[in-house]
Amino acid sequence: MTIAITAVSGQLGRAIARNLIKTADGETIIGLARTPANAKDFGIEIRAGDYGQPDQLRASLVGVDTLLLVSGMDAPDARIGQHRNVIDAAKSAGVRKIVYTSIQGMEEGTAFSPVVQSNRQTEADIRASGLDYAIGRNGIYIEPDVEYIESYKAKGEIANSAGAGKCGYTTRDELAHAYAHLLTNDDHNGKTVTLYGTPITQAELVSYLNDAFGTSLTYHEMTSAEFIADRTAELGAFIGPIIGGIYEGIRLGIYEEPSDFEAVTGRPHQSWKDYFASLER
Ligand SMILES: NC(=O)c1ccc[n+]([C@@H]2O[C@H](COP(=O)([O-])OP(=O)(O)OC[C@H]3O[C@@H](n4cnc5c(N)ncnc54)[C@H](OP(=O)(O)O)[C@@H]3O)[C@@H](O)[C@H]2O)c1
């Protein structure tokens, strides 16, 4: 069986490819990349895979049995069309099954909802494609909070609008473990599963970061409007409201819903105690 992974030059695509290379049991793993030069030295065949280029996608998917489609990064409307290019190319190239990395989130009522809706549209397009499929709705990556540690230290706090809401975070490595399962067996075909670990509050996140980095950070709750303004000033008018909308969703409880991670993989998601212990210096 040949498995292809799109956006293999990105952090999630690469983590999934690495996991599959390690665990492969006769499967051939290939990567698709918009910028193949960003995926050099992976030790697997890399083919061109720009979501905006239907002919290129069709040619690159020849001989592929199972395809992992990593959700794109463009504006929501553009994303839907790009994902359709991949789905259509997969159908015409004879791909049997698509696994899609979707997102957990509020479908209405937050500044992140347009992105969630674009993911839901791609989910619907995949279900209507006639191909076998499995869809994962990913939790929020925890790594950016770790990468932000110097910025948090400078401010002495984590400030956002999540309040007491709990967030089902995950890591790209844990997602890679789950997607390897969805790609290599058919138990979850036709299903849409949520993928994240035990939900935690921002106060708990602060406590884990303090233990791991020896800091004395505190949590500061902002209103949604304040936080969106803050993120927009730092990250710009596209990403700022998206980040603000994610925290609005945390406050409203969407990331507290049950996770299917253990049902998919046969083991619990890595605990946050173990994850943060692995970071301690
Ligand atoms: N769950 C979360 O918390 C969370 C957070 C952020 C994003 N996401 C979603 O998760 C996805 C993967 O995350 P990541 O950490 O791997 O992101 P990343 O490291 O920034 O990688 C993004 C990847 O998307 C590729 N890409 C962008 N536009 C493309 C296009 N038009 N055609 C083909 N490839 C394209 C990039 O290719 P190049 O090498 O050519 O740039 C890169 O490989 C993101 O795309 C986003 O949809 C989830």
Give residue-wise pLDDT tens across range 67-76: 999 999 999 9
Q: Which of 6, 19, 73 to mutate to test ligand 1, by most ligand atoms within 8 A of the CB atom?
A: 73
Q: What is the mean pLDDT of residues 162-170?
A: 98
The per-residue pLDDT for 281 is 61
How far apart, in whole angstroms, are the C-alpha atoms of residue 43 and residue 60?
A: 18
| Distance from Cα 169 to the centre of ligand 1, integer Å | 18
How far apart, in whole angstroms, are the C-alpha atoms of residue 201 and residue 216?
A: 17
Q: What is the average pLDDT score of the chain?
A: 97
Q: What is the mean pLDDT of residues 107-111?
A: 95
pLDDT tens, residue by residue, 10-59: 999 999 999 999 998 899 999 999 999 999 889 999 999 999 999 999 99
Atom of ligand 1 nearest to the CA of 13: 16
| Distance from Cα 195 to the centre of ligand 1, integer Å | 18
pLDDT confidence band for 134 (50 / 70 / 90): very high
34: Cβ below 6 Å to ligand 1? yes
The per-residue pLDDT for 26 is 92
| Distance from Cα 74 to the centre of ligand 1, integer Å | 9
pLDDT confidence band for 138 (50 / 70 / 90): very high
How far apart, in whole angstroms, are the C-alpha atoms of residue 244 and residue 229?
A: 8
The per-residue pLDDT for 211 is 96
Q: What is the mean pLDDT of residues 234-262?
A: 96
Q: Is residue 40 within 8 Å of 97, Cβ to Cβ?
A: no
Q: Is residue 102 within 8 Å of 64, Cβ to Cβ?
A: no
13: Cβ below 6 Å to ligand 1? yes
164: Cβ below 6 Å to ligand 1? no
239: Cβ below 6 Å to ligand 1? no
Share of the chain above pLDDT 70, in %: 100
Instruction: Kindly state the greatest CA–CA separation across the chain.
Output: 56
The per-residue pLDDT for 172 is 98
Q: Whose CA is nearest to atom 18 of ligand 1?
A: 10
The per-residue pLDDT for 24 is 87
143: Cβ below 6 Å to ligand 1? no
12: Cβ below 6 Å to ligand 1? yes
49: Cβ below 6 Å to ligand 1? yes
Q: What is the mean pLDDT of residues 135-152?
A: 97
How far apart, in whole angstroms, are the C-alpha atoms of residue 213 and residue 211?
A: 6
